[in-house]
Amino acid sequence: MLPIEYRNATADENEKDFTVYEIELDALEYLAEKLTKLAKRANKLGMTANLDIISFGEFSVDCKTKDGIKYQRHLIKLAFVGTTVKFNGWEFIATISPLESGNLVNCVPGKTYPVSLRDVTTNRCDHCNVNRQRNEVFIIFNEEENIYKVVGRTCIQDFLGHSPEKFLALASWVDSLGELFTEASDSESFGGANRAPMWPIESFLKTASVIIRRLGFTSKTKAYDAGTCSTYDEIMFLLNPRNQAYAEKFARLHSLYPEQIDSDKTEKSLEWVRGLTDTSNDYIYNLKTASELDYVTHKTAGLLASLIPAYGRATEKEKENSLAKQSSNHMGEVGKRYGILNLDVQSVKYFDNEWGTKTLVNMVDKAGNRYTMWISGQAVDALEQANENSAIVNITATVKEHKSWQGVKQTQLSRPVMGVKGKHLKNLLS
């Protein structure tokens, strides 16, 4: 979703001459989504129109939750009129939102950007070059010039111009737009006050832990496909309910009351993620950044809802690697050919290159010793046929190399043939 494009009011434009809506910055994505839907309806009617959204400035309000946690609501004054918007070759790549512990990066799926831009200060705007605090900035890319730039919210229109969501087509729908802007500026109907709450990170994760323990983990994508609630939805239902009685009934029905096991898992999860050093993956980078705060907001809640299962997967992988390190040994003598029985095929991966496709096969024997081999052509067909009804295979192969991967000893094989016959029955590795 692209951010809403707007410009600062000129010296001749006075907010008294417009209908001005005070909207939370966090509500702009919601507003853009609704505008998109209205735009589709307008297109069906053959309407072509544009929208000029004018900003009369941003401001903040100091607030405090019922738990005594202080926070700020960040709002912007917006008005709208019709205008023409130009497109000049810039593509939206990512949004950078600052937290006290670093930046959150929301990248368009399938797009990339220089990793160095993760640490960019939101005071930066490559368009206006005005050094001021911004709530978020955007990474944009021009393919013809092969250049990335960082721009502030009020300057994004100069680069992106015509919105892919075509929400500018609704200038003539003044009534519909007015209702929509009114809804977005209404803290009760939109949930402005409800979008701002913060929870201590330990309390949030304990709730996540007990929900996952009792009900399992469901991602937003799987929930959407199945037409059910995600784990994030269930956490929000308990922590930020619109109907307290329903929330309490839901908790009683499923015994969703954190216990010591949830406290322990919360502590270990935070220790794990805060200690990670490899953050080359965007998900891991954002997860660590969000976890370094002492609180959770709606902006980081969806991300942190996945911390408990992420820690679980990492722990299981560590256990597997630890067991593999203890049990796996280098087998046979390099250069000699052996018959090898009862190999369990763990994975088969295909890699394309300029000469064709090569296949990497990872296997383990009953004693826990690990084997790998690269195969192609008829060997792939033979493996697939042998592996059709069972993951256990017998092969004859030459020991090519003894090596290690992530600390686990592996025996690399070459020239494999499915099955063990003749003289190789007298020269078995397992």
The CA distance from 148 to 107, in Å, is 14
Confidence at residue 43, expressed as pLDDT on a 0 to 100 scale: 60
pLDDT tens digits for range 137-156: 888 888 888 999 998 877 76
* pLDDT tens digits along 363-398: 888 888 889 998 887 777 777 776 665 678 888 889
Q: Of 322, 330, 321, give the one whose Cα is nearest residue 403.
A: 330
Highest mean pLDDT among 48-62, 206-220, 222-236, 349-363: 206-220
| pLDDT in the model for residue 144 | 84
Domains of the chain from N-terminus onward:
7-188 (no CATH), 198-315 (no CATH), 337-426 (2.40.50)
Query: What secondary structure letter does DSSP report for 169?
Result: G
Task: Calculate the average pLDDT of the chain.
Answer: 77
d(CA 53, CA 77): 10
Residue pLDDT, tens place only, 79-134? 876 433 334 667 767 788 888 888 888 765 456 789 999 989 889 998 889 888 88
- The proportion of the chain whose per-residue pLDDT surpasses 90, expressed as a percent, equals 16
* pLDDT reported for residue 341: 83
Q: Is this model's pTM higher than 0.75 or not?
A: no
Average pLDDT over residues 302-320: 86
Per-residue pLDDT tens over the stretch 331-355? 888 998 988 888 888 888 877 777 7
Angle between helices 307-327 and 282-291 (to 10 degrees): 120
Banded model confidence at residue 425, pLDDT cuts 50, 70, 90: low
Tell me the C-alpha distance between 400 and 413, whole Å.
5
pLDDT for 47 equals 46
